[in-house]
Amino acid sequence: MSKVPPRLSKVLEMLSLVPPLLSKVPAMLSKVLATLSKVLAMLFKVPAMMTNAPPTLSNVLEMLSKVLETLSKVPPMLSKVSPILSKVQPKLCQELSVTCNT
11-43: b (≥16 Cβ within 10 Å) or e: ebeeebeebeebeeebeeeeeebeebeeeeeee
Contact indicator for 3, 87 with CB cutoff of 8 Å: no
What mean pLDDT comes out for the span 45-66? Answer: 69
Q: Give the mean model confidence (pLDDT) for residues 53-71.
A: 77
Average pLDDT for the chain = 73
What's the whole-model pTM score?
0.33
- 4: pLDDT confidence band, cut at 50, 70 and 90? low
34 residue type, one letter: A
85, pLDDT greater than 80? no
Q: Please, are residues 15 and 101 in contact by the beta-carbon 8 Å criterion?
A: no
Q: Is the pLDDT of residue 82 over 70?
A: yes
What are the angstrom distances between the C-alpha of 36 and each of 55, 62, 97? 21, 13, 46
- pLDDT > 60? residue 88: yes
